[in-house]
Structure 1
């Protein structure tokens, strides 16, 4: 390792290690530990020994990382905390808006989110002090106040919690890294009252006002929202109005980076400003004689970049870009050589020191990994084609190398975080980046600069910008049809191996040792994957997924076939896809690549919500549902997706017996055959009683699944004398007091009961009556609201229960 060549490598590595350890294990150190480490660092300056100095440097920054993170993420004192009002119903909160309000959805169906710095809660007509930042979600409407405005609004406060799913995104930790203590829900934008406008942050309010004026100009010139929203994202960092399907298309095409203000956009702005200043300055002979105009033009780009940073909301990616480009500009100004690795380390160090939790932001991580990949790979690729020295061929080769390097360097991190990645960007960048970057961004900047000088010419440039974006949108939608890389098996160990490989390739001197280590690192990670037990282990696995106030079970048959029973779901009016956000990632983390049997017990939203997404994205062998089938919009969407892929459908009724692979038998106990010809809509209660009830048997064990069936279904099965005795009972209707009668429970006589319910749900489920009944009979109860995802494993003789993803 060449420490002298990269002096910031050790401090950045130590600081990052301290932050990661503090975040992962909730470690913290007193200020006295920091003082002791700093004293050791000072004393090491008098010891001219590289190992001693390096060790003390590493120790100080490690301790600093452990100490500083809680300063950002610890909630305010309990007696003043806004968390005192959590789950107390609706309360009136006063505070200052601290982030640009972000709008999602389409006009007429939009929602808004922003960060609120609370100052108090209105109680009995008086303002009681309260502190803490909230992530506020306005479910309907667009908020007009901006950063710095003092507002008062009616909201419900709640703290995010983990469901207990494999690979689950920790939203609470994500908020904590931003200094946000909880989330809050507001029904309508009309519920927000502006108390005072921008008095506390006049500069920020003024900048936001200019950004809004620019956004209004863009939308006035470009009435097509799909075009104007992309132009606003490109020029002023406003992604608030980009339609969800268009945003997903840019992501699938691998070019979503172009919509985020980054070094590319800032570099173009710096180039335009510098060239404009140089062009104007050269018209004055006095200036040309007294100053070095090229150096002056370079410096003139610095205030322009700073203003642009403020204009776009000081996003981490933009801040990183401005810092890096400012360093390059200053280096060019003093005519010094620049090392891109050192520039990257300086930028990273500055951003993490100023805002330590930024290390955990995915935009920060992907931006730096993409740049790291460029720094590492582009020179090597260009070196392989040394014969191409100049001209358009050399420029095209460099463009290809940059695109490939950024895409390759972010594949593993994207698979780790999102379970999917796109290499389509390697191809899409060839067309989209020139259209948007060199065309639309340049024309758009010229348009905005000309607005106060010549409005007609500004509109002409904006018209050209819109045409380029419209062509780009069409290309992106075509590229988005190409397949993605989907894999849920990337682990933290793989990420560590990936970073180690990048570090070895960057910081170890070329030679046989580096080559050997670079080869061994990925091979070791692959070997560990091959040493893990196979998914098909000859045993029956029953996994109740913790999906909140819904229900979903994954059953793995002994030979490895997967049966998905129900798919959980959000409330129908949430506008979110449960399968995309929750169910799909969990299945990928569990290693599911195919659903052999998709089973829907009934067509309620909390049971079928995620099935449509799974049917669209994973191979499905068969679809089973109870007679006579379902109804409603979500069910129609599911059926349409199944039919479009040619997935066979089978209706099940009491008396059906289905032999499954591996010696497992499925016996259907309800609904009765008399329902087979029934059609038409049913109310909620009736649909519950039409739920699919079935019993699995494997060796000496049996498992009874009752969906949302209630007392009526239980009485019918008792009266028919069907075999109900089972080792496991999946309790009906989330543990409702209208299911699991005492007589029914006596007939089943289970040893284990599973209940799927949402944490602190508004329905009071599972009911105390049901829990007391299970407790009296000595049944071991596992609940997803307390235990997270529950897994039972049977080899036909022994039955084991585990809660490996229990939330803290």
Structure 2
């Protein structure tokens, strides 16, 4: 008896039901690229939903498309799939540092001198300048040796800029290996620098031997207009003001400042349509038969390769420019050799080439955004081809925009009105904008947790203008190299056009809710989202073609769509909840931030960390991604232990990015300038200010948080003081059934002695080590009184204070206490059911 298979599933899955035309629509490279990608995914340390799930699904898809693309399933092709999967699985990644590389000759944190050549322009920020040095030699106190490798050097003080290509010697540099913040969901900074071939990072506090050699400029376009054009045309974004960068991010226009396929497409398109009529005229004048045969298109394609390749060289070997360069070159070559062009095959060929060149690109957000955007556009073009009513038109593949609903393709002729052309152009642009937005939404959510609500509309207006601006600036710049006077006249309209790209994004960014930060939905959401998107596209196609859609399909699609929206709106509900007390001592460098999740679902953030001179926004860059990855979109309670910047600076961004229900305060008697400012901001953000009183347990479900110090009867801190000092730090005991933990801020030995005398029963299971492990805290008497089974220190890697101090560590070792420290163990997670507890670290992140 044959198994029952629903008719619609049978038509989709079994290749004997696939028409010849449908097989032709499946690119030949697709199954083999998927097999190689499956192999690369198989060796990734990160896993999606479950170990090897992504690899297995991708491998199944490769066999599925192979089956649908061929009439007879070939064992040779199946063997090729297996071979490519194996190749990807064992494909070598980035090679280890070669002998002679600088990484073999440094001791982290020690001062050395370097000499080498700057291989890129400097990256200039508000408080520092980054230089990228191709190292030639290294000098220590004992010797000098020739080495190789690349180092990123930060210079914090003002100085005269150096220029790319200069041979420079940097004195007194402290070098170290790039390091991640070891928190779940963190940005992989080490891999980011590794992809740029950066071996080490260092800093110079007293710049020497620095001479002014100038920097890149566009003399025809001064001011912010010139800086914006540097970003849009050449990808040099660093000179841009921060408010302009933020405006482009909020409005979803940041892709205009990253040289990508869009830009190279602009260049290729502009030169092609500029050269085509000129070449046709010349051929028709001197070789009319050649012009009638369509050879002008071939010559235009050939000459277009030159600016495309030159532009790729100018902007460098970026994944986005390389991908688009390969695609456009393949398209132009197809015109030259009279072959029917296949955009999908050119697109997949670009992906194959890049993954062979840099397999780590597979998990790079830029790679994912680029390829999903193009894949989405090509998929929609494929759907539009299916709308063609003339079967013969499919053989010649007419321009895709002729199939945009709104006018019959047969009615399009040379007498088409300007109004009709504009309508079709607008519909095409809108369709591309919607497609790119939908195709890239999961990547934006999972990597950046931010979406723009205005980007869809602004792109409709500004992208066509950018298609004029970018090629125009390139041509004017080339003219300016010959004669500035000659280039001045055509530069003027481009200069005023650039003003629109300054005014419109900044105005749009000032509109409330122009962009939203969203928590990360659970991983399964990605599968559901793309399933809904693809099935919805095909359902829309069948509806337009007036074909029947089964009721089961409609019901399933509506259910899946509802689930996708629910996961997006209430992400934490769908994340696996432990129903336990979870305390996360985050790795935020030399500072402190602790996030607690209570069994009843409530959350509390104690402190927000902070870097020296706010050189890194810890709240935005470290804490927020950690919370978003857990599906958290609001915080129930926030408390600041005291006013040191390494404890509270990050809370400013936290208040900006997350709704906070309750902010626990010390009351009016103890609130210095910084805390008063923070309390004021919390109130403006609609948080309720609640006084956290000493010895009055604050109940959060079954758990209680009790403030032990400072006492409200102590010496007041007047508003004029800038800070609430270390000895006024909040000390609080958390108790959940039989589990307890003590939080101590930055208190010193004096306060420790006071606590020991005031609270005879001070014993806890876990202690958060006072003052990051300072030897002037963590006294023997305090350790004896608290009797912790485990102690956690929040400290920065190779920090200048040498926290936690060796003397402090020896005290705890002598007491038999287990020691955890964020600089070595990463985020330390304490999980308790109220009776027992476990400690989880993230050393390997």
Match of 1:312 in 2: 315
CA contact (8 A) 1:86 1:159 kept: no
Deviations 1:238-289 (A, max 9, x none): 2221222221221221111111222332222223333444455536876555
Asked if 1:662 is matched to 2:691, the reply is: no
Alignment correspondent of 1:38: none
Q: Which residue of 1 aligns with 2:121?
A: 101
C-alpha change, 1:494 and 1:148, in structure 2 (3 Å) is farther
Unmatched 5+ residue regions in structure 1?
27-47, 198-208
What SS does the aligned partner of 2:713 have? helix
Query: Is the Cα–Cα contact under 8 Å of residues 86 and 156 in structure 1 kept in the other structure?
Result: no
Structure 1 pair 131/498, CA: closer, same or farther in 2 (3 Å)? Answer: farther
| Partner SS, residue 120 of structure 1 | strand
> What's the offset of the Cα at 1:604?
0.8
2:174 to 138, 142, 156: 156
Q: Which residue of 2 aligns with 1:779?
A: 817
* In structure 2, C-alpha distance between the alignment counterparts of 1:273 and 1:103, rounded to whole Å: 31
Residue 648 of structure 1, aligned match among 688, 693, 697: 688
Q: Is the 8 A contact 2:406 2:424 kept in 1?
A: no
Q: Secondary structure at the match of 1:173?
A: helix
Give SS of 2:802's match.
coil
Q: Select 1:74's aligned residue among 77, 96, 99.
A: 96
Count, aligned residues: 755
Give runs of aligned pairs for residues 298-337 of structure 1, distance below 5 A.
298-337=301-340
Aligned pairs for 1:397-408 (under 5 A) are: 397-408=427-438
Match of 2:405 in 1: 386
Deviation at 1:401, TM superposition (A): 0.5
Q: 1:3 to 1:506 in 2, by over 3 A?
A: farther
For the residue of structure 2 that corresponds to 1:121, the secondary structure is strand
Q: Give the RMSD, CA atoms, in angstroms.
A: 3.8
User: Shift of the alpha carbon at 1:499?
Assistant: 6.9
CA contact under 8 A between 2:672 and 2:718: conserved in structure 1?
A: no
What is the rounded CA distance, in whole Å, between the counterparts of 2:142 and 2:740 in structure 1?
60
The aligned residue for residue 58 of structure 1 is 81
Q: Distance in 1 between matches of 2:592 and 2:111?
A: 28
Does residue 182 of structure 1 match 2:239? no
| Equivalence for 2:68 | none
Q: Does 1:541 align with 2:582?
A: yes
The match for 1:33 is: none
SS of corresponding position for 1:217? coil
Give the CA deviation at 1:483: 4.7
Aligned to 2:711: 672
**Take 1:793 and 1:658, find their aligned partners in 2: how far apart are those partners?**
21
SS state of the match for residue 175, structure 2?
Answer: strand
Contact 2:312 2:321 in 1 (8 A): yes
**Secondary structure, aligned partner of 1:53:** helix
C-alpha distance after superposition, 1:572-593 (max 9, x if no partner): 252x311111011111122322
Structure 1 pair 55–505 and aligned structure 2 pair: CA distance change class (3 A): farther
Normalising by structure 1, report the TM-score: 0.83
- 2:219 is matched with which residue? 217
1:428 aligns with 2:458: yes
Contact 2:670–2:716 (CA under 8 A) maintained in structure 1: no
Residue 550 of structure 1 corresponds to which residue in structure 2? 591
Q: How far apart, CA to CA, are the structure 2 residues paired with 1:125 and 1:705? A: 46
Q: Decide whether the 8 Å contact of 2:118 with 2:163 is kept in 1.
A: yes
Match of 2:226 among 228, 238, 241: 228
Q: Which moved more, 1:395-404 or 1:771-780?
A: 771-780
Give how far 1:781 is off: 3.0
Check whether the contact 1:558–1:661 (CA below 8 A) recurs between aligned residues.
no
Alpha carbons 2:572, 2:631 under 8 Å: kept: no
Is the 2:762–2:786 Cα contact (8 Å) retained in structure 1? yes
> Does residue 727 of structure 1 match 2:726?
no
8 Å Cα contact 2:183-2:827 kept in structure 1: yes
SS at match of 2:97: coil
Instruction: Look up the match of 1:619.
Output: 659
- Matched with 2:518 is 487
CA separation in 1, counterparts of 2:142 and 2:353? 45
Give the distance between the partners of 1:143 and 1:50, measured in 2 at CA.
67
Helix, strand or coil at the partner of 2:156: strand
Aligned to 1:466: 495
| 2-structure distance, mates of 1:102, 1:401 | 39
TM-score by length of 2: 0.80
Using the TM superposition, give the Cα deviation of residue 398 of structure 1 relative to its aligned residue in structure 2, in angstroms: 0.8
Match of 2:801 among 763, 771, 783: 763
Residue 454 of structure 1, CA deviation: 6.0
How far has the Cα of 1:6 moved from its partner? 1.9
CA contact (8 A) 1:143 1:189 kept: no
Gap change, CA 1:459 and 1:299, over 3 Å in 2? same
Where 1:11 maps in the other structure, the secondary structure is helix
